[in-house]
Amino acid sequence: MFVDHVKVYVRGGDGGDGMVAFRREKYVPNGGPAGGDGGKGGNIVFIVQEGLRTLMDFRYKRIFKAERGTHGMSANKHGAKAEDYIIEVPPGTVVKDADTGETIADLVEHGQTAVIAKGGRGGRGNSRFATPANPAPELSEKGEPGFERNVILELKVLADAGLVGFPSVGKSTLLSVVSAAKPKIAEYHFTTIVPNLGMVETEDQRSFAMADLPGLIEGAHEGIGLGHQFLRHIERTRVIIHVIDMSGMEGRDPYEDYVTINEELKQYNMRLTERPQLIVANKMDMPDSEENLEAFRKKLPEDTKIFPISAISRMGLNNLLFAIADLLEVTSEFPMIEETDESESAVLYKYESDSDGFSISRDPDGAYVISGYAVERMFKMTDFSHEDSIRRFARQMRGMGIDDALRAKGAEDGDTVRLLEFEFEFTE
């Protein structure tokens, strides 16, 4: 089964907790704090594996969680870093954030990697907080939670040449006779519902990958017919092979077919109109094909190159294959889905946070609700089993301006304040 669109959940590993410990050895007075740091959590990393052709594996496993780092230990022993969770994806995979629609990574080359969800850093042990004023702190941090997100994986087939056209114009037949591919062929529309790939070799030993893509109809850019399922794949092809049924057996005008398909490509993505395109007049062994071809030529500029063929009788195929191979030699590598700044594309992971780090709202019962990535992260990393940690958390909230913001919202002594699933009282 060909799968080209899935939604999965990924979560980086939590960092290991730091430890509160003290050095206690015979003949060593005033040993001091000796709690080690926790190890870093593992990242979720996608890597391109050229042997894969589909996202089929993700139909059966949709939740991926990396391991957490090891906790810190006594005697200043730091916890071990967790291994990254490596997930293999096929070339041409685009990773998008399911909530924002932002493209996180565009993976096209074998071995290319992207960090999709970063693991949390390890919490610091109490030896990190020793100061002259407090040489024996009972204070440590919990590990930072790993970043989590829902992502959408879209596979856009990587092919040198892509066959486009209305349903039943002979795209599958053409692929089947020029390669070893065995696409489904039948006398009804939308026989091809998923892309078929085949390797083509010309008589002068040049080879390229050709894709038979599902048929287009008018309105495809709006999702009509197979719509975006088809157009997603044409974005990756280096050369577009526009196949037209010149016999007119379906009752359509070949020139109108040509204009309609090009308009659909333009409406979906203007850059597709810049892609090199060859026009193939198929079914030239049928009655009326010659007359239709002459009428078709008159409606195009005089220098337009048209390749008359009959896929089923193999007429004209060598000239077509040579022309495709020649065009590929002067065409750039696989196009990316959008032009991005190199410095930005190198950073395939980033945290999203509010500029102030928090926001304050009111629940229907009158309680004040504090939210925001920065304050929630700080809360989760606080070990509330130690008084020193609680006091530090209160100082951090005050330093972020949360106390002043609550007062500005009208909070008074004794009012309820919520942070995640926890409640506490506001005190002056």
Rounded Cα distance, 308 and 142, in Å: 70
**CB-based contact 148:10 (threshold 8 Å):** yes
Report the distance separating Cα 21 and Cα 35, nearest Å.
4
pLDDT computed for residue 2 by the predictor: 54
pLDDT for the residue numbered 181: 59
The tokens describing 155, both together, are: 């596979």
Tell me, what's the pLDDT at 231? Answer: 64
The confidence score (pLDDT) of residue 369 equals 92
Does this model's pTM top 0.85? My answer is: no
pLDDT at 349: 45
Residue 275: how many CB atoms within 10 A of its CB? 17
Q: Which of 3, 106, 91, 105 is nearest to 50 (CA)?
A: 91
| Torsion (CA) 330, 332, 333, 339 in degrees, nearest 10 | -170
With tokens 């304040």, the residue in question is 417
pLDDT of the chain along its 428 residues, tens only? 456 688 999 999 999 999 999 988 888 777 889 999 999 999 999 999 987 877 888 888 999 999 999 999 999 999 999 999 999 998 888 899 999 888 898 888 889 999 999 999 999 999 999 999 888 898 999 999 999 999 999 887 777 888 888 887 888 888 888 887 565 454 434 444 456 777 888 888 888 888 887 655 544 444 444 434 556 667 778 888 999 989 887 778 889 888 888 887 887 776 777 888 899 999 898 888 899 999 998 998 888 889 999 888 889 999 999 999 999 888 866 554 444 333 333 334 444 444 457 889 999 988 999 998 889 889 999 988 888 888 898 898 888 899 999 989 888 888 899 998 888 888 87
